[in-house]
Amino acid sequence: MFTACTGEDPPADAGDASPQTSPPPVTSTDSYVFTDAAGIEARLTLEGEAAAVLTVGNDTGDSLPKPGVFVLDARDGARTSWTVIDSSPIPDGERAEFRVERSPVPEAKHIGLVVLLLGGEDYGAFVPPRPGAAT
């Protein structure tokens, strides 16, 4: 809870209310995973040196705009857009799978950050694969 000081009265006490925290991230052994409280779940699975599969689930209550992906190179922070083939809106309650063309740079070992775009807007970063993680 945030309070503002107007200069006239002391701010209201927030009491013993605990701050709201984010749930722990969902992880996978073989995919980059994005989840949010609004009901979006996306997984990006790399396939070989130049392809990937993006799966997006939509339980938001509204249609989602076309998805996209960009990555940041861990070595220098360079941004590279990956092409989501036949990207299309995702209706509420549905799951869609898209092929993704990866550029040769960065190599998988140099991927620093993978970001989900919806309608061209940055929705946030994927959690990278973690060996031994839950799927």
Q: Percent of the chain, pLDDT > 70?
A: 78
| CATH number for the domain harbouring residue 69 | 2.60.40
In a domain, 103, yes or no: yes
Assigned domain for 42 exists: yes
CA 114 and chain centroid, separation: 8
Residue with token string 């949010």: 36
What pLDDT sits at residue 105? 80
What's the pLDDT tens digit per position in 54-70?
A: 999 999 999 999 999 99
Q: Could you read off the pLDDT of 18-34 as tens digits, one per residue?
A: 555 555 667 777 899 99
Q: What is the pTM of this model?
A: 0.78
Number of domains the chain contains:
1
Cα torsion at 46, 47, 51, 56 (round to 10°)? -50
CA–CA separation, 17 and 46 (whole Å): 43
Cβ proximity of 58 and 36 under 8 Å: no
> For 64, phi and psi rounded to 5 degrees?
-95, 140
76: DSSP letter: T
